[in-house]
């Protein structure tokens, strides 16, 4: 008699997405809701949260939390209750500079949300994650294949990879994984002049093996997979259109 294969699903599970009012986070919240999950979205701007909630089922929740402050993150999770999966996609607009032009104090601040915010989220979320649940963090392929000007971004990406592996060991059996996107067309690039931004998208898209840069939905499907994949932990899943190969 053949062994019955368990169907992985998010039906009825509670998913908290930090950094979810736009971009990767919002796309992931939408994708999780389409899989039957009850979604909680968190970001720093209440107006954008309200707009994002219009794209989600009526039972979705949204909260404005400044993720650059540990105390805010602690307070949020103290009141959040139990849940199944944490997604962390929060980050500031990207700034790329060669090291000779980089102000170190500015570079340190770049870690506040992308690294320390994730660190605090894991610390305060972990006790509330139900059996079989997961933590899913965001890095990037810049650590594996950096270009000039990516010193800070590359450093954060590799720090997140090390943190992911350490937490997979420390928090087991909670699964902890990281999604490492390549260049994705999101509003995180909006701090760059539009002409420069479009030039990057066009140039890199043409160079990639799939002949385009990513979109938020590409990465959202990856997060959904990692929530449903119950036998993976401590892993880095690179989704970059072949970027590390060129």
The per-residue pLDDT for range 218-244, each reduced to its tens digit, is: 999 999 999 999 999 999 999 999 999
pLDDT at 69 over 60: yes
Which residues are paired to 39 by β-bridges?
15
Question: Full-prediction pTM beyond 0.95?
Answer: no
pLDDT for 5 beyond 70: no
Q: Are 67 and 42 in contact (CB under 8 A)?
A: yes
Average pLDDT taken over every residue of the chain = 93
So what's the pLDDT on residue 8?
79
At residue 7, the pLDDT reads 64
Residues 30, 39: Cα–Cα separation, whole Å: 8
Q: What percent of the chain has pLDDT over 70?
A: 97
Instruction: Compute CA 210 distance to the chain's CA centroid, rounded to the nearest angstrom.
Output: 22
For residue 100, the model assigns a pLDDT of: 94
> What is the pLDDT at residue 241?
96
Interval 33-62 mean pLDDT: 97
Q: What is the pLDDT of residues 127-166, one digit of tens each?
A: 999 999 999 999 999 999 888 998 999 999 999 999 999 9
Pairing of the two strands 236-239 and 175-181: parallel
The DSSP string of 103-141 is -HHHHHHHHIIIIIIHHHHHHHHGGGEEEEEEEEEE--G
Residue 1, pLDDT above cutoff 50:
no
User: Do residues 243 and 208 touch, judged by C-beta distance below 8 A?
Assistant: yes
The whole-number pLDDT of residue 9 equals: 87
Q: What's the CA gap between 220 and 27, in Å, rounded? A: 6
> Which residue in this structure is represented by tokens 């707009």?
51
Q: Would you say residue 29 has pLDDT above 50?
A: yes
Whether residue 244 is preceded by a cis peptide bond, meaning omega within 30 degrees of 0, is no
Residue 172 contacts by C-beta under 8 Å, 6 or more apart in sequence?
233
pLDDT interval class at 189 (50, 70, 90)? confident
């Amino acid at each position: 008699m053949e062994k019955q294969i368990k169907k992985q699903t998010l039906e009825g599970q509670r998913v908290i997405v930090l950094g979810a009012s736009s971009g990767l986070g919002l796309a992931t919240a939408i994708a999780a809701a389409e899989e039957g999950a009850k979604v909680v979205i968190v970001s720093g701007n209440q107006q954008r949260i309200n707009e994002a909630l219009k794209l989600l089922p009526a039972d979705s929740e949204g909260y404005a939390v400044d993720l650059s402050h540990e105390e805010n993150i602690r307070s949020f999770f103290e009141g959040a209750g139990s849940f199944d999966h944490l997604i962390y996609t929060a980050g500031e607009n990207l700034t790329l500079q060669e090291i000779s032009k980089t102000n170190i104090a500015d570079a340190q601040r770049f870690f506040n949300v992308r690294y320390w915010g994730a660190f605090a989220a894991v610390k305060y979320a972990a006790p509330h994650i139900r059996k079989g649940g997961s933590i899913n963090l965001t890095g990037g392929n810049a650590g594996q294949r950096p270009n000039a000007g990516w010193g800070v971004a590359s450093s954060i990406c590799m720090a997140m990879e090390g943190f992911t592996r350490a937490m997979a060991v420390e928090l087991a059996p909670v699964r902890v994984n990281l999604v490492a996107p390549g260049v994705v067309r999101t509003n995180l690039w909006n701090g760059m002049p539009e002409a420069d931004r479009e030039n990057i998208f066009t140039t890199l898209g043409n160079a990639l093996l799939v002949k385009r840069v990513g979109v938020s939905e590409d990465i959202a499907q990856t997060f959904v997979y990692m929530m449903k994949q119950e036998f993976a932990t401590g892993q880095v899943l690179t989704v970059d259109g072949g970027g590390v190969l060129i």
